[in-house]
Amino acid sequence: MQQKTPLSNSELLLETEKLRQNLELLKREKFDLEILLETTTVHADLVEAQLHESNLQLQLEVRERKAAEAKLKASENKLKALLKTVTKANYDLKIILETTTVHGDFIEEYTHNLSIRDPLTGLFNRRYQEKFLERHLKYAQEHQQNLSIIMGDIDYFKSFNDQWGHQAGDIILVEIGKFLIHNVRQSDITCRYGGEELMLILPGTSLEEAKNLAEQLRLGIQQLSQDKPDQFLQKVTISLGVASFPEHGLSSLEITQSADAALYRAKAKGRNCVITASELLL
């Protein structure tokens, strides 16, 4: 085996210098790596924080989008329901329009009747009574004719309601209303004045004629039980007060007050009778 020749001093110095340079290079590379590692560590925390913030923002946007989608869905459902309602309403309006067009006269008459008649008895209501009385009183004044009114009050009506109930009271009102309508002239009107009070307006009728009619009506109402099976109708009677133009007043208010005073006297006298306003002066 060949033995290596020892390095000379110059060669040894040269090798030493190379080693020193390599060592210096390694130190610089180590320093650069340490700086890179430190920078990477610092930026890694920042990147992680940014990623976390981005993730939170993304989750918020997802929740907001889902909420917006749910709200939009609810709005769509409401819109569909509204559209369905509008479609039905439009259909109903179309039917009403067609019905009104075909049966316009009937509907107009029916609506008019609703506005002037008492819904329970079918008699004319107080509003129509006042207009009718004013109109026909004016005619009577201009043509020097008589006009009479009869005020009626069902006797012991409150007791009937207390004993038999309000339904029985309603039946009494309806039956008496029917009787009056069928037993006066077409030119006369029968009104429900209020509660159990009734009023008949008789154009062109004298006091004597009105008194005779009132007596006939009183007897007829007293006999209602003969044709009706209802037990509570067997004791129904009515008190009546009669007043006329021009004897008992020149205005509708004066005549009405006179008839009402006569009715009050009939009640005080024992009920189930007819009293005229003239009898109040006796």
* Phi–psi pair at 203, nearest 5 degrees: -65, 145
The question of whether 61 is a catalytic residue gets the answer no
- Report helix angle 166-181 to 157-164, nearest 10: 130
State the Cα–Cα distance between residues 242 and 97, nearest whole angstrom: 48
State the Cα–Cα distance between residues 222 and 126, nearest whole angstrom: 25
Element (H, E) at 190: strand 189-194
First to last CA, the chain: 178
State the Cα–Cα distance between residues 99 and 110, nearest whole angstrom: 13
State the Cα–Cα distance between residues 161 and 172, nearest whole angstrom: 10
∠ CA 178-113-257, nearest 5°, is 65
∠ CA 102-108-112, nearest 5°, is 160
Q: Which of 61, 134, 196, 197 is catalytic?
A: 196
- Report helix angle 104-116 to 9-102, nearest 10: 80
> What DSSP state is assigned to residue 2?
P
Residue type, 146: N
CB 123 within 8 A of CB 196: no
Q: Is the peptide bond before 246 cis (omega within 30 degrees of 0)?
A: yes
State the Cα–Cα distance between residues 215 and 188, nearest whole angstrom: 16
Return the active site residues.
196
